[in-house]
Amino acid sequence: MPTKHKIQAQVQSLGKASITSPLTTCRFIDEKKSLTLPIPQELLDPGDPELEYIVCEEAGPRKFVYFDPPKTKCAIVTCGGLCPGINDVIRSIVMTCYHNYQIASVVGIRYGLQGLIPKYGHPLVELTPDFVSHIHEFGGTILGSSRGHQSPEEIVDSLERLNVNILFMIGGDGTMKAANAIYQEIKKRGLKLSVIGVPKTIDNDIYLVSQTFGFDTAVEKATESIRCAHTEAIGAPNGIGMVKLMGRESGFIAAQATLALKEVNFVLVPEVPFSIHGENGFLSHLARRIKKRGHAVVVVAEGAGQDLFDDLGTDPSGNKKLGDICAVLRDEIKKYFTEQHLDYTLKFIDPSYIIRSVPANANDRVYCGFLGQHAVHAGMSGKTNMLVSKLQDRYVNLPIPLVTQKRRKLNPNSNYWSAVISSTGQPSSMV
């Protein structure tokens, strides 16, 4: 856990790995060596000013494995919202299990963790190389997904009945917390069952993870919508193009898409509060932009401006329900511009479900392939209660309790956010 300047990221193990690995053409990772990597300030929030380094273990194949491959059974489950690249990770895990380790069986759990609860009646899927060979060409997940809490006790009961040795869990922050709960139940029962996470969140908000898979694709697709909004804005007198992007608590998609396409004039994210009214409020700056340039493009992360709403409770996964900030902004723009006797045309674009449902692009496909491979290497070597990730261009194994301490958020004091402000020309503060 964090010390003054350094994080010690110690990964749990089921025991000594003593079976010679069947891999022959690879570089084995030395278990005795650790990586000391600098932590970029962009990965930290203002509450972590003294963290400078993380000491962790490199991901990859080990010379000795814990599980005997011909007797090993693996299971894969996908949870939470959709994200580009899930099928690529599934395919990579299955191909690595069969072609590299010659394991006995890989089964797919249908519709998230519900698939391990008997009352739901979801059948298992036998995942073979033939079955998964073309799934990377499609968006979504061939296993389906679900949200909501499921009993760790019932889940582990099912895993025992199925004789599963390694459980691969693909999901976001909530899924990783569930993985930790499952691990704790497994540990309490004294079972030799590995739990390996692959972080999946389109919002890119996993703490200490440089970039989650699907994010690159999401930004690429988001820029298409922003370009359309700009075309609409310049195509009418005093045109305003507004684009709503995903980002419940972290505005990385909105910020990165803004940097990628220089047509954005205002970007609103959850981490940076703003006022709608007042001399320095959003409406005042928007009106000045319209009077000066005759058009404007506004990008809004879905979690921006939530301080303007009352508490709306939580969803089945425990996530805070969000108020519709774009609906509020559109209403307030209408009132304000009418009062100012300023004609305008506003076009609103919400590409959220299109963005999260498309197949992964080339960069994400490569990334997903490595994540799947390293997940299998970790599971076969007996690692548990950990996830595979990429940090500073190095693939690493990180303990799940460490990365679920908090969500990664955009740092408003970072050079990254400064670059976003510079790109848009908006004021650094609108409060």
pLDDT in tens, 126-159: 999 999 999 999 999 999 999 888 999 999 999 9
Residues paired with residue 387 on neighbouring β-strands, in sequence order: 197, 398
Q: What is the pLDDT of residue 3?
A: 47
Domain that holds residue 313: 220-356
CA 61 vs CA 67, 90, 91, 244, 396: distances in Å? 13, 18, 18, 42, 12
Q: Is residue 251 domain-shared with residue 281, that is, in the same domain?
A: yes
Q: What is the pLDDT of residue 159?
A: 98
346-394, pLDDT tens digit by residue?
999 999 889 999 999 999 999 999 999 999 999 999 999 999 999 888 9
Q: Is residue 53 domain-shared with residue 196, that is, in the same domain?
A: yes
| DSSP 8-state class, residue 59 | P
Q: Is residue 231 domain-shared with residue 180, that is, in the same domain?
A: no
Residue 1 has pLDDT above 50, yes or no: no
Determine the Cα–Cα distance for residues 231 and 220; give it in Å rounded to an integer. 17
Q: Is residue 341 part of a domain?
A: yes
390-427, pLDDT tens digit by residue?
988 899 999 999 999 988 999 898 899 999 999 999 99
Q: Is residue 351 domain-shared with residue 367, that is, in the same domain?
A: no
Q: Is residue 243 domain-shared with residue 364, that is, in the same domain?
A: no
Q: Is residue 248 domain-shared with residue 194, that is, in the same domain?
A: no
Residues paired with residue 313 on neighbouring β-strands, in sequence order: none
Q: Is residue 49 part of a domain?
A: yes
Q: What is the pLDDT of residue 398?
A: 97
Q: Is residue 162 domain-shared with residue 23, that is, in the same domain?
A: yes
CATH classification of the domain holding 339: 3.40.50.460
Q: Is residue 20 domain-shared with residue 155, that is, in the same domain?
A: yes
Average pLDDT, stretch 268-279?
Answer: 96
36: enclosing H helix or E strand: strand 35-38
Average pLDDT, stretch 7-24?
Answer: 95
Determine the Cα–Cα distance for residues 109 and 127; give it in Å rounded to an integer. 10
Percent of the chain scoring above 90 in pLDDT? 85
Mean pLDDT score across all residues of the chain: 94
CATH classification of the domain holding 399: 3.40.50.450
Residues paired with residue 243 on neighbouring β-strands, in sequence order: 299, 349
Q: Is residue 150 part of a domain?
A: yes
Q: Is residue 244 part of a domain?
A: yes
pTM attached to this predicted model: 0.94
Residue 6 has pLDDT above 60, yes or no: yes
Query: Which are the catalytic amino acids?
Result: 203
Q: Is residue 87 part of a domain?
A: yes
Average pLDDT, stretch 263-267?
Answer: 97
Q: Is residue 177 part of a domain?
A: yes
Residue after which a domain boundary falls, among 356, 386, 415? 356
Banded model confidence at residue 2, pLDDT cuts 50, 70, 90: very low
Backbone angles phi, psi at 35, to 5 degrees: -100, 135
Q: What is the pLDDT of residue 148?
A: 83
Q: Is residue 154 domain-shared with residue 167, that is, in the same domain?
A: yes
Residue 4 has pLDDT above 70, yes or no: no
Residue 235 has pLDDT above 50, yes or no: yes
Q: What is the count of structural domains for the chain?
A: 2
Q: Is residue 120 domain-shared with residue 20, that is, in the same domain?
A: yes
Q: Is residue 410 part of a domain?
A: no
Percent of the chain scoring above 70 in pLDDT? 97
| N-to-C CA span, the chain | 36
Burial 267-289 (b: 16+ CB within 10 A, else e): bbbbbbbbbbeeeebbbbbbbeb
Banded model confidence at residue 35, pLDDT cuts 50, 70, 90: very high
Q: What is the pLDDT of residue 392?
A: 82
Q: What is the pLDDT of residue 49?
A: 59
98-126, pLDDT tens digit by residue?
999 999 999 999 999 999 999 999 999 99
Q: Is residue 277 domain-shared with residue 158, that is, in the same domain?
A: no
Average pLDDT, stretch 267-282?
Answer: 96
A 10 A CB-CB count for 184 gives: 15
Q: Is residue 411 part of a domain?
A: no
Q: What is the pLDDT of residue 48?
A: 66
Determine the Cα–Cα distance for residues 164 and 388; give it in Å rounded to an integer. 20
Q: Is residue 51 domain-shared with residue 84, that is, in the same domain?
A: yes
